[in-house]
Structures are given as C-alpha cells and as structure tokens.
Amino acid sequence: MSSERGPLDDVARGAIKGALDWTAEKVRELVRRFRDRKLAFVSDPEIINTVKEQRKTPEWIFFRDNVKDADFRILFQIGLTLRKLENEGRSREIRALKEKVFRKYNKRGLHIAQVVQNGIFSKYIGIILERTPTPEILKSEILDLFTNIENRAVFIQSRNNVKKETDLIVAKISANSPNTFIFSSMGRAMDICEKVQKSVIQRISDYKSELYRSDIKRIYFLNKVVEIT
C-alpha cells in the first residue's frame, strides 16, 4: 500500500486535529463552568471571586490532592474564604456566608467549613501525619473526619453548660472510638472549653489531650493512646 498522502488527506487531518483541539478546550471550559456552578449558592460575585482565589493556596492544593469529593472541596474553599474574611474583619460577610452554607449543606456542612476556617484542619494534619504510614491511610483519615464531622468535633460556645458538653463528648467518644476527637472554642467560651477538657479527661482513660491555644482560641485534640503489645 502506498504511503503517499495527497492535499485532501492533509486538509482532512488538519480538520480532525482542529476538532480535537476544540473539543479539549470545550471540555476544560465545561469543567470550569460546572465547578463554578457549584458556587452559585454564594450569589455574591465578590465572595465567589474570593473563593476562587483560595484555589491557589498551599492548604487547598494539599486538600485537593487528597480528597476528590466535590462537596467537601467546595466546603474547604468556603472555609478558607471565611478565614480570609475573618482576618479582614468582615463580620457581616462572614455571617451571610455561613447562613448560605447552612441552608445549602445543613449544620454538617457548616461545621466542615468551620474546621477549616478555625485552623483546626491544618493542626489536625500535623497530628495525624505522625501516625499515618502511607498516603492511603492519610486520605482515609481526612475523609473520616469530614464524613463523620458530627461525631469527631464539637464547637463549644459561651452559653454551653460544662456538664452537658462533657456528657456529649464522652458519649460521642464512647460510641465511635475515634482516633482523634476535637473540641474548640473562641473568645468568652474559652474558660468553659478548659473546664470541659478537664472534666472529659477525668472520665476517659485511653485518650491523651493536646492543646493549641492563642489569645482568642482554644483547640483540644483528644488522641487515642495506642498500646504496643
């Protein structure tokens, strides 16, 4: 069979290549539009742009590489956005965005975003990296935290009762036996959080407490003690 090609062959080949190139670009555009459509519930164009900016941060890139769930990815970006707004003192926008997250994703989704906003996630990664021997286990730990956030974390507020919060945390730990349980507080709730921590530790024997603190924040990580036999 002759290997010679005529002008029409070249034209046809160029047309096909052009179609393939167009299709690839179109697919990328459709993917981008689909991803941005997931942010439509935010509604405020300025806040949406702020969310998109978070896709350049190292924290987001780490999360993106380890978690594929589309909703978790959106909530992670929202959490980073809430942190940025908090650093800028934009309380009105924070409140409005949290309300939208709650309407879209319920309390569970809001708690996921708050875990990111409050810096809990990054500190959590620092803890679990010491006990995760493989990337697969690391991904599993992250997914477990986000999937079961209501049984892995409690956000203590100033109006909470110490005994009730202690009972709640002890019950969650007893029922689920997580590798790490988290509870945190800010501002006026920090004193209550410290009292809860002392009370919880008195009632559970196989967890060790680790504290991260600042002038306005307390984060306790209760890590299960692994016995080596």
Token representation of residue 169:
């945390």
Evaluated on CA atoms 186, 189, 194, 196, the torsion sign reads negative
Residue spans in the chain of domains classed CATH 3.30.110.20:
152-229
For the chain, percent of residues with pLDDT exceeding 70: 83
In sequence order, what DSSP letters do the residues of the chain get, joined into one string?
------HHHHHHHHHHHHHHHHHHHHHHHHHHHHHHHTTGGG--HHHHHHHHHGGGSHHHHHHHHH---HHHHHHHHHHHHHHHHHHTT-HHHHHHHHHHHHHHHHHHHHHHHHHHHTTHHHHHHHHHTTT--SHHHHHHHHHHHHHTGGGTEEE--TT--HHHHHHHHHHHHHHH--SEEEEEEEGGGHHHHHHHHHHHHHH-SSEEEEEEE-SSEEEEEEEEPPPP-
Q: What is the pLDDT of residues 9-55, one digit of tens each?
A: 555 555 544 555 555 555 555 555 556 678 888 888 899 999 999 99
User: What pLDDT score was predicted for residue 38?
Assistant: 82
* Residue range 158-167, pLDDT digits in tens: 999 999 999 9
Q: Is the pTM of this model over 0.85?
A: no
CATH (one of 3.30.930.10, 3.30.110.20, 3.40.50.1970, 3.40.50.20) for 152-229: 3.30.110.20
Residue 100: pLDDT band with limits 50, 70, 90: very high
pLDDT digits (tens, 9 = 90+) for 124-168: 998 888 888 889 999 999 999 999 999 999 999 999 999 999 999
Residue range 44-71, pLDDT digits in tens: 889 999 999 999 999 999 999 999 999 9
